Every structure is written in C-alpha cells, then in structure tokens.
C-alpha cells in the first residue's frame, strides 16, 4: 500500500504478564540447549499506553516528540538520521529512552525485510507522542511499547502493511540492540488492551495463541508497590543459571521457569476458560510458593527478586494483595 500522506492516529498499550514472567528469556536458550523447557506465559494489554500522531516528513530522518507519563506534560525531542546506521547504532547502545527508538530504527533500515523499501524512499517519519498514560519502569513494558510504536509508525509512513507479528519482531530485534537484552514477551503489547494472549517460546520460535475463551468477566487489580525495577540487573541474575545449570540452585530455577511454569500456565488458561476465579487464585498462590522456594535472593538477590513484576517488595503485603486480587477477579 502507499505511504500515509496524512496524519495517522496510533495507540500502543502496555502489557501485564498474568503468569510466566521470565520464561520467555529462559525458553530462548532452547536454540542452543534443547533440554531446556519451552517458555510459556499469558499476557494481556493494558488500557494505558502511548498515544501518538504519525506523518511522513521531508528528509531521511525520524523526528519524535515524547511526553512523560508523570502528569506534568513534560516533553522531549529527538531527531535521528535514517541514512546513518552507525549513528543509529551508537545511540541505541548508549542506553536510555531514545536508545529504544534508535535501536528499532537501526534494525528496520539495516537487517529487516523492509530495509530496501525504507532506504529507497526520499521521506522520513514524524512521531508526536502527545500523551502517555503508561507508567515507566513498573513492569508494564513501557520500553517495548516505544519500540512497537516506532515499528507501527514505519509501517504507516512507508506503506509496509506490517502484521502485528511483524511489528512485534521489529520491536524485539530493535530493543535487543540496546543494553536491555529483553525476551520476546514484552512486545505482545502490540495486540492491544484487554486481549489475553498465550505465548510459547521455543528457542528463536515464537507461537502466539489468543485466549479466545474467557468464562467470566475477570477484573484485574494492578497495584503500584513503589518498587524499583532494573531489567538489566534481573537478566544478569538469570544469566548465572543458564544455559546449563551447574548447582542445585540453578536446577531449581530451571524447574521453576520450565516444567513447573508450563503446568501453572496450563492451569491458569483452564481456569480463565471456565471462569474459575478461585481456581485462578490458587494457581497464583502455588506459583508464588514455587518462586519463594526456587528463586528468591538465591539468584536475583533481595533487591532484584523484589523487582519481578508479579512479586511484591514486601512478602506480607504480596500475600495480602494476592488475596484481594483473587477475590476481585469477577
């Protein structure tokens, strides 16, 4: 299709991981170590996200304005040269907010299947992220949402007609260019708000299966526990246990993110399909107990352990909030 000639309104949501956190990262190691279990997780898009207007622009540049989510309306700007991959890579590897934008641009213009079409065009793309309702560094995939927004903007500005899976792949490979070596789960925010999706991670292969059957209205209460989150630190902690376990602790982590996680996710999918709210709550309690037994600070350290998006900084608070969460899923 032809590139967009008028302004296009876009929205990219965040995502909540309902179950299976970090199994995307662990399952990716199956490409080199087939004995590792495939990762599985359930995610759902949030109603909070990035609102943007996209249009083509003169010159081979990406011009983006970002609005902070803290309510003060603060804005910042960035101009990236799409005809200078070296500069894009340097910005991507520098870290920070704009690294995710630059990393996605770098992938699109160098190694994506759309590189020739984008590079042969005389125009660029302008993204005005005029409103952000998605909190950052809260485990809601704010970084992935930025990468998906950039990928979707390229699709509209250059007439690429990308599928949702195409956008996910571009966003994933773009974020992998940055210091945040993410797994493949976060980019499922591309599916939009309120749509539960079951993801399976088998090495480099990703399977996406929408959870079409929901047996009851499930209202998810997401609480901000005022914890910090450092994805790089969390993944560094996991790295010590993969790809091959060398200690009993490592074997426990493999079990937690492997066959135990698969069982928890399967049970959760059944409970969602049947509208079994109490059953879903029991799955969460069992998953928390397994995490306490096999992970905790043994692998991540006390600080990093608290940063996992489904586990509270204060264990007693998690259990109180966990019960409340279970009681309100109807």
Phi first, then psi: what are they for 51, rounded to 5°? Answer: -100, 130
Is the bond preceding 32 in cis, omega lying within 30 degrees of 0? no
Q: What is the 3-state secondary structure (H, E, C) of 230-292?
A: CHHHHHHHHHCCCCCCCCHHHHHHHHHHCHHHHHHHHHHHHHHHHCCHHHHHHHHHHHHHHHH
> pLDDT tens digits, residue range 39-73?
999 999 999 999 999 999 989 999 999 998 866 66
- CA dihedral sign, ordered 11, 17, 21, 24: negative
Give Cα separations from 14 to 31, 82, 93, 135, 279 (angstroms): 28, 26, 23, 9, 26
pLDDT digits (tens, 9 = 90+) for 77-134: 999 999 999 999 999 999 999 999 999 999 999 999 999 999 999 999 999 999 999 9
How far is Cα 212 from Cα 257, in angstroms, rounded to an integer?
A: 25
Split at pLDDT 50, 70, 90, the class of 162 is very high
Confidence of residue 295 (pLDDT cuts 50, 70, 90): confident
Name the 3-class secondary structure at 58.
strand
**Do 167 and 155 contact (CB within 8 A), yes or no?**
yes
3-state secondary structure of 21: coil
DSSP symbols for 91-102: HHHT-SHHHHHH
Q: How far is CA 1 from the centre of its chain?
A: 28
- At residue 285 the predicted structure's pLDDT band, cuts being 50, 70 and 90, is very high
CB crowding 120-132: b at 16 or more within 10 Å, else e: ebebbbbbbbeeb
Q: Residues 140, 143, 147, 150: what is their CA dihedral angle, to the nearest 10 degrees?
A: 100
The residue to which tokens 């793309």 are assigned: 125
What backbone torsions phi and psi does residue 308 show, to the nearest 5 degrees? Answer: -60, 135
Sequence-ordered list of residues with C-beta below 8 angstroms from that of 176, at least 6 positions apart, any chain: 103, 182
- The C-alpha angle 220, 225, 228, rounded to 5 degrees, equals 125
Q: Is the pLDDT of residue 270 over 80?
A: yes
Under 8 Å between Cβ of 295 and 301: no
pLDDT digits (tens, 9 = 90+) for 232-254: 677 777 778 899 999 888 999 99
* Beta-sheet pairing, 123-132 with 205-210: unpaired
Q: What pLDDT does residue 309 have? A: 35
Sign of the alpha-carbon torsion through 39, 42, 45, 47: negative
Q: Quick one: average pLDDT of 187-211?
A: 92
Q: Identify the band that residue 145 occupies on the pLDDT scale cut at 50, 70 and 90.
A: very high
């Amino acid at each position: 299709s032809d590139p967009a000639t008028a302004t296009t309104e876009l929205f990219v949501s965040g995502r909540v991981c309902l179950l299976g956190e970090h199994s995307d990262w662990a399952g990716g190691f199956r490409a080199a170590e087939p004995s590792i279990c495939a990762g599985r997780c359930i995610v759902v898009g949030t109603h909070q996200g990035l609102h943007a207007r996209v249009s083509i622009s003169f010159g081979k540049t990406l011009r983006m304005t970002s609005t902070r989510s803290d309510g003060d309306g603060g804005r910042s700007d960035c101009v990236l040269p799409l005809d200078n991959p070296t500069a894009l890579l340097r910005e991507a590897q520098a870290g920070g907010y704009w690294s995710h934008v630059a990393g996605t641009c770098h992938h699109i213009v160098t190694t994506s299947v759309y590189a020739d079409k984008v590079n042969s065009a005389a125009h660029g793309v302008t993204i005005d992220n005029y409103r952000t309702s998605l909190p950052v560094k809260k485990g809601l995939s704010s970084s992935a949402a930025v990468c998906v927004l950039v990928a979707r903007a390229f699709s509209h500005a250059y007439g690429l007609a990308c599928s949702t899976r195409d956008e996910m792949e571009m966003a994933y490979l773009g974020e992998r260019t940055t210091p945040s070596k993410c797994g493949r789960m976060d980019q499922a925010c591309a599916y939009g708000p309120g749509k539960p999706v079951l993801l399976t991670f088998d090495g480099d292969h990703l399977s996406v299966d929408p959870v079409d059957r929901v047996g009851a209205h499930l209202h998810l209460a997401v609480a901000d526990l005022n914890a910090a989150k450092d994805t790089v630190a969390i993944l560094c902690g996991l790295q010590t246990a993969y790809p091959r376990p060398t200690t009993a602790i490592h074997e426990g982590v493999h079990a937690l993110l492997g066959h135990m996680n698969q069982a928890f996710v399967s049970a959760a999918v059944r409970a969602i399909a049947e509208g079994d709210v109490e059953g879903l709550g029991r799955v969460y309690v069992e998953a928390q107990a397994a995490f306490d037994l096999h992970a905790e600070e043994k692998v991540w350290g006390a600080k990093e352990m608290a940063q996992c998006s489904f586990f509270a900084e204060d264990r007693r608070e998690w259990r109180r909030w966990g019960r409340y969460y279970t009681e309100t899923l109807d």
